[in-house]
Amino acid sequence: MPAHHANDDGDLVMPSMPCNVGTIARVAASVAVSPPLGLDTYVYEVIPFGDRLVSISSDDSLRLVEPQTLQYIPDCTSIHDGVTCLKAIHGRGVLTAGRNGVVKCTDLRTKTTAQEISKDVRQPILSLACEENVIATGTELTSAQATVTLWDLRAIQQPLLQYIESHNDDVTELSFNPSNPSILLSGSTDGLINLYDTSITDEDDALIQVFNHGSSVAHAGFLSDHEVYGLSHDEIFCIFDTNDCHQDEAHESSHAHAFGDLRPQLHCEYVVNIVSSDKSAPIVGAASHSARYLDLISLQRLPTWSFDTSNLVRLSGAHEEEIVRSMCFSGDSNTIFTGGEDGFIRAWRVAEETAGEGRQPAVQGKGQKKRNGSDKSERARFRPY
């Protein structure tokens, strides 16, 4: 991946760097580590919110974090019985959801629940997306039904829409098209990635395109207005083109670009996620818990999509032998934040010097937390929550 630097707005950008394959272009040093959580407490998710960070963890707590020091801002809030999801609502607070089938909107200024949303028949919620006043939830398969539900935060007494027939297994991912928020994407362990036009009430008519990934979908989202990606639990990666979408009927599409298993291609044991923005190329987090590193690799379209493995940023040490669950980039500094199953949040800064070709620098994070009976060297892709 091209080496990072910050532009005038402080965002991470990726200039082109001519390097040989295998070169570690930059080394990211750990500059801060959060206080430890309890034994066997995982950090599930870390996201930026204004000038703070917000996290959820396996002790069912929501925490506000000071990004410079990674100190937790008292007090943490117990939010769900089995929290699974965390999303920011710009200027309003954060949304969380859990296996108790409840969505909560939390005001971070007062750390109180501003709104609570649930249906009469509750299903464990595994995925969450929001766009202005509309939120979408995706559920675990319960009583032979996996549901995508849309709510209007201004009128939460009844759902706006429900899609109950489009997936036949857990709904693991939801995302609104950033340029056309009426288009909603869903991904599922049934191997399908669906696109809905949420301005249409009838489910059969609203389902405008179906992509058959072929493997259980862990992550999916938009790379552009007309391209979506899917990453499976066994690290199979595909990109699909939506330009051939037919509005008159649900149209099943073949792979626009099938990459296959990313583990041998990116020299990793699992992929954390793919983080994309409208200001830089999408970034893939490819990690190894046995070798203890996380590589940030650019996904570029020149003109076809490919991984720039010749230039990467290495977070050496990562979260030691534990799985990295989450990664995000700060909006105002050249800092990378990660959360892991070691119970820590870590902040990383990209070093100025260039590492030598093929070198694995000994820059490691602080605050290793040992676990009794934890041996993940034989473990492949984790299943979330």
Q: Are 238 and 254 in contact (CB under 8 A)?
A: no
Q: How far apart are CA 382 and CA 385, in angstroms?
A: 9
User: Six-digit token pair at 207?
Assistant: 């389902």
Predicted TM-score (pTM) of the model is 0.83
Q: What is the pLDDT of residue 27?
A: 80
Q: pLDDT, tens digit, for every residue of 86-129?
A: 999 876 799 999 999 999 999 888 878 888 998 877 899 999 99
User: 378 pLDDT exceeds 90?
Assistant: no
What is the per-residue pLDDT across 48-65, written as a single tens digit (0 to 9) for each? 998 899 999 999 999 999
- Tell which residue, 130, 135, 207, has the closest CA to residue 164: 207
Count CB neighbours of 120 within 10 A. Answer: 4
The pLDDT of 7-12, averaged and rounded, is 40
The span from the CA of 52 to the CA of 295, in Å, is 25
- pLDDT tens digits, one per residue of 223-282: 998 999 999 999 999 999 987 554 445 556 655 799 999 999 999 999 999 997 656 789
The DSSP 8-state label assigned to residue 384 in this structure reads: P
- What strand order describes the sheet that includes 93-98? 83-89, 93-98, 102-107, 112-118
Instruction: For the chain, give the mean pLDDT.
Output: 83
Contacts of 164 (CB under 8 A, 6+ apart): 145, 146, 147, 148, 203
Alpha carbons 87 and 99: distance in angstroms, whole number: 16
Structure tokens at 357: 């070709």
Average pLDDT over every residue of 19-42: 75
What pLDDT is attached to residue 54?
95
| Centroid of chain to Cα 289 | 18
